[in-house]
A = this chain, B = another copy of it.
Amino acid sequence: MAKEKKQPRPKADTPKGFRDYFGADVTERKQMLDRIAEIYHRHGFDPLETSAVETVEALGKFLPDVDRPNAGVFAWQEAEVPGIGQGGGGAGDWLALRYDLTAPLARVAAQFRNDLPSPYRRYAMGPVWRNEKPGPGRFRQFYQCDADTVGSASVAADAEICAMLSAALEHAGIQRGDYLIRINNRKVLNGILEAMGVTEGPVSDDVLRTIDKFDKVGEAGVRQLLTTGRKDDSGAEIAGVGLAPEQADPVIAFLTSKGADNAATLANLRAAVGASEIGAEGVDELAQIADMLTAMGVGEDCAVIDPSIVRGLGYYTGPVFEAELTFEILDEKGRKRQFGSVAGGGRYDGLVERFTGQKVPATGVSIGVDRLLAALRAKGLMGGQEHGPVVVTVMDRDRMGEYQAMAAELRAAGIRAEVYLGNPKNFGNQLKYADKRQSPVAIIQGADEAARGVVQVKDLILGAKIAAEASHEEWKAQPAQTEIARDGLVAEVRRILG
Interface residues of chain A, those whose CB is within 8 Å of chain B, are 2, 9-23, 25-27, 41-44, 46-55, 57-58, 60, 65, 68, 70, 74-76, 78-79, 81-90, 93, 95, 97, 107-108, 110-112, 117-119, 121, 127, 129, 131, 133-134, 140-141, 149, 151-154, 156-157, 159-160, 163, 167, 288, 291-292, 294-297, 354-357, 388-389, 391, 400-402, 404-405, 407-408, 411-412, 414-419, 421-423, 433, 436-437
Given contacts A149-B421, A295-B404, contact A58 B10 (CB under 8 A): yes
User: How many copies of the polypeptide does the oligomer hold?
Assistant: 2
A152's contact among B50, B389, B401, B421, by CB below 8 Å, is which?
Answer: B421
- Assembled-state Cα–Cα distance A108/B160 (Å): 43
B292 near A157: Cβ-Cβ < 8 Å: no
A76's contact among B26, B75, B411, by CB below 8 Å, is which?
Answer: B75
Residue of B nearest to A76 (CB): B76
Given contacts A23-B48, A83-B134, A296-B404, 17 further A-B contacts (CB under 8 A): A9-B356, A11-B55, A12-B110, A13-B111, A15-B51, A16-B86, A16-B88, A21-B49, A22-B46, A41-B416, A51-B141, A74-B76, A118-B422, A118-B433, A119-B422, A288-B400, A297-B405
B88 near A58: Cβ-Cβ < 8 Å: no
- Assembled-state Cα–Cα distance A354/B19 (Å): 21
B43 near A411: Cβ-Cβ < 8 Å: yes
Give the residue among A44, A131, A156, A422 with the most B Cβ atoms within 10 A. A44
A94 to chain B, nearest CB (A): 10
A421 near B52: Cβ-Cβ < 8 Å: no
Residue of B nearest to A21 (CB): B49
Residue of B nearest to A107 (CB): B12
- Assembled-state Cα–Cα distance A167/B70 (Å): 46
Listed A/B pairs (21) with beta-carbon separation below 8 Å: A2-B65, A11-B88, A11-B355, A12-B111, A12-B355, A13-B107, A14-B51, A14-B54, A18-B51, A21-B49, A26-B47, A51-B127, A52-B97, A53-B97, A152-B422, A153-B423, A154-B400, A163-B404, A167-B411, A295-B408, A296-B401
Residue of B nearest to A411 (CB): B42
B44 near A26: Cβ-Cβ < 8 Å: no
A16 near B87: Cβ-Cβ < 8 Å: yes
B52 near A127: Cβ-Cβ < 8 Å: yes
A53 to chain B, nearest CB (A): 6
In the complex, what residues of B have CB within 8 A of residue A141's CB?
Answer: 51-53
In the complex, what residues of B have CB within 8 A of residue A46's CB?
Answer: 22-23
A253 to chain B, nearest CB (A): 29
A98 to chain B, nearest CB (A): 11
Given contacts A60-B10, A74-B76, contact A51 B437 (CB under 8 A): no
B15 near A95: Cβ-Cβ < 8 Å: yes
A419 near B58: Cβ-Cβ < 8 Å: no
B52 near A14: Cβ-Cβ < 8 Å: no
A198 to chain B, nearest CB (A): 26
- Assembled-state Cα–Cα distance A36/B1 (Å): 50
- Assembled-state Cα–Cα distance A361/B131 (Å): 36
A58's contact among B12, B21, B60, B160, by CB below 8 Å, is which?
Answer: B12
Residue of B nearest to A135 (CB): B83
Q: Which 7 A-B pairs have the closest CB atoms?
A: A13-B88, A15-B89, A44-B418, A295-B401, A12-B110, A76-B76, A152-B421
B296 near A408: Cβ-Cβ < 8 Å: yes
A47 near B70: Cβ-Cβ < 8 Å: no
Give the residue among A57, A149, A152 with the most B Cβ atoms within 10 A. A57
A49 to chain B, nearest CB (A): 4
- Assembled-state Cα–Cα distance A433/B417 (Å): 50
In the complex, what residues of B have CB within 8 A of residue A76's CB?
Answer: 70, 74-76
- Assembled-state Cα–Cα distance A2/B78 (Å): 27
- Assembled-state Cα–Cα distance A88/B19 (Å): 11
Give the residue among A82, A141, A156, A417 with the most B Cβ atoms within 10 A. A156
- Assembled-state Cα–Cα distance A450/B9 (Å): 76
In the complex, what residues of B have CB within 8 A of residue A151's CB?
Answer: 422
- Assembled-state Cα–Cα distance A402/B295 (Å): 6
In the complex, what residues of B have CB within 8 A of residue A288's CB?
Answer: 400
In the complex, what residues of B have CB within 8 A of residue A294's CB?
Answer: 401
- Assembled-state Cα–Cα distance A88/B16 (Å): 6
B49 near A15: Cβ-Cβ < 8 Å: no
In the complex, what residues of B have CB within 8 A of residue A418's CB?
Answer: 43-44, 121, 160
